[in-house]
C-alpha cells in the first residue's frame, strides 16, 4: 500500500538555497519534470546551462530574464487570479538569471533536443473555459503543443473559481497507448485566495483540496488540503478532483513531460467517472469566468 500523501509537499518542504521549492530528479522516483519557485525582492536567482529546457512564469510581479546574451522583460501580473501572464521559453544549453520583484516559477524538463527560445505575450495566450456548470475552470494554455514549440515540456495553468471543481473527472496519463494515452509525469503547484465576492479577514486561511489514487501503473494516495506554495507530484495514477471551497478561489500550475518521443497530452478518464462529461452539454459555463483577460476564449472538454 502507498503511504498516504507521500507525493504531497507543503510549502517550504522542498526548499533549496534561494528557492522556496525545487522539484527535480533528486526526489526518488522523479525523472522527467522540474519546478522551481522563488520570492524575489529585487535580487537575482540563477540556473546553470545544461541539457534542460525551461519556461519562466511570473506568478505575481514583473521580472527580467537574462539569457543567450540578451534580456527579456516579463511584464507579469499582480496575482495568478488576474488572468494570463507573458512567459519565456528558454531552450536547452542556456544559463538564465531572473531578477525582479514578486513570485516567479521556472518549469523544467531534461532534454537532448534543441528548440529555439521564445517569448509568449500575454495577449497571445489562449484562454480556455473548460467544462460547464460547477465544473467550469479557466485554463491558460501558454506552454501546450499547439502554442509553444518545446522539446518535452507541456505547461499550463488553471483557475478554479470558488465552489467549482477541476481536474474532474479524475484521469490518468501513466502509460503509452498511441492515439489514446501518453505517459507523463505531472507537477501541481497551488495557490489559493479569498473569492472575489467574499470580504475575508486578514487571518483567513485560503485552501482547496486535491486527490490522487492508484491505477494499474502504481499505488498512490493523496488526499490533502492545499494552500499557496504547496506542491503535489503525480508520477502515475488517477488524479483529481481539485476542489475550491465556496469562499476561496484555487489556482494551480501544471508541469508535464515524459519519456515518449511524441510531445502530446492524451488522458484516460476513470471509467467510473467518465459519464459526467456528458452532463456538460446541458449546462452553461460559469458566468464568473473568464477572470481578467483580453484574449478570445474557447470551449474545451479535456482535463
Instruction: Over range 56-85, report the average pLDDT.
Output: 97
Nearest to 158 by CA among 185, 184, 190, 134: 190
Q: Does residue 193 lie within any of the structural domains?
A: yes
CA atoms within 13 A on the CB side of 154: 19
Q: Does residue 298 lie within any of the structural domains?
A: no
Q: What is the pLDDT of residues 118-144, one digit of tens each?
A: 999 999 999 999 999 999 999 999 999
Q: Does residue 104 lie within any of the structural domains?
A: yes
| Domains in the chain, number | 1
- Does the pLDDT at position 146 exceed 50? yes
Instruction: Over range 294-299, report the average pLDDT.
Output: 51
Rounded distance between C-alpha atoms, residue 107 and residue 37, angstroms: 9
Q: Does residue 296 lie within any of the structural domains?
A: no
Q: How confident is the model at residue 156 (pLDDT cuts 50, 70, 90)?
A: very high
Q: Does residue 105 lie within any of the structural domains?
A: yes
Rounded distance between C-alpha atoms, residue 98 and residue 85, angstroms: 16
Q: Does residue 30 lie within any of the structural domains?
A: yes
Distances (CA, A) of 99 to 42, 91, 167, 178: 6, 19, 33, 42
Give the per-residue pLDDT at 301.
Answer: 44
Please say whether the beta carbons of 229 and 20 come within 8 A: yes
Mean pLDDT score of the chain: 95
Non-local (6+) Cβ contacts of 256 within 8 A are 33, 153, 154, 155, 173, 184, 185, 186, 187, 265
Instruction: Over range 268-285, report the average pLDDT.
Output: 97
Q: What is the pLDDT of residues 188-244, one digit of tens each?
A: 999 999 998 889 998 999 999 999 999 999 999 999 999 999 999 999 999 999 999
CATH of the domain at 94: 2.60.120.10
Q: Does residue 294 lie within any of the structural domains?
A: no
**Residue 47 lies in domain:** 8-277
Q: Does residue 203 lie within any of the structural domains?
A: yes
Q: How confident is the model at residue 295 (pLDDT cuts 50, 70, 90)?
A: very low
Amino acid at each position: 500500500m502507498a503511504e498516504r500523501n507521500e507525493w504531497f509537499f507543503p510549502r517550504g518542504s522542498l526548499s533549496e538555497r534561494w528557492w522556496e521549492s525545487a522539484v527535480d530528479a533528486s526526489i526518488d522516483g522523479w525523472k522527467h519534470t522540474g519546478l522551481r519557485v522563488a520570492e524575489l525582492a529585487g535580487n537575482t536567482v540563477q540556473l546553470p546551462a545544461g541539457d534542460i529546457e525551461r519556461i519562466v512564469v511570473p506568478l505575481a510581479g514583473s521580472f527580467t530574464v537574462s539569457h543567450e546574451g540578451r534580456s527579456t522583460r516579463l511584464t507579469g501580473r499582480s496575482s495568478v487570479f488576474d488572468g494570463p501572464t507573458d512567459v519565456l521559453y528558454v531552450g536547452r544549453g542556456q544559463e538564465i538569471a531572473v531578477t525582479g520583484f514578486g513570485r516567479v516559477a521556472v518549469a523544467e524538463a531534461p532534454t537532448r533536443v534543441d528548440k529555439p527560445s521564445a517569448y509568449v505575450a500575454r495577449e497571445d495566450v489562449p484562454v480556455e473555459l473548460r467544462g460547464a456548470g460547477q465544473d467550469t475552470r479557466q485554463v491558460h494554455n501558454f506552454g501546450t503543443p499547439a502554442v509553444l514549440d518545446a522539446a518535452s515540456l507541456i505547461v499550463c495553468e488553471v483557475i478554479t473559481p470558488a465552489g467549482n471543481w477541476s481536474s474532474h473527472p479524475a484521469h490518468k496519463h501513466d502509460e503509452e497507448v498511441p492515439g489514446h494515452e501518453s505517459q507523463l509525469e505531472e507537477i501541481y503547484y497551488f495557490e489559493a485566495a479569498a473569492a472575489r465576492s467574499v470580504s475575508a479577514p486578514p487571518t483567513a486561511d485560503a485552501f482547496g483540496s486535491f486527490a490522487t489514487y492508484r491505477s494499474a501503473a502504481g499505488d498512490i494516495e493523496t488526499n490533502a488540503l492545499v494552500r499557496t506554495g504547496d506542491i503535489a507530484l503525480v508520477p502515475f495514477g488517477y488524479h483529481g478532483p481539485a476542489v475550491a471551497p465556496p469562499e476561496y478561489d484555487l489556482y494551480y500550475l501544471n508541469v508535464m513531460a515524459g519519456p515518449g518521443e511524441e510531445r502530446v497530452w492524451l488522458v484516460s478518464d476513470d471509467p467510473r467517472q467518465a459519464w459526467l462529461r456528458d452532463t456538460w452539454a446541458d449546462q452553461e459555463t460559469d458566468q464568473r469566468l473568464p477572470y481578467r483577460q483580453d484574449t478570445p476564449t474557447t470551449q474545451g472538454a479535456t482535463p
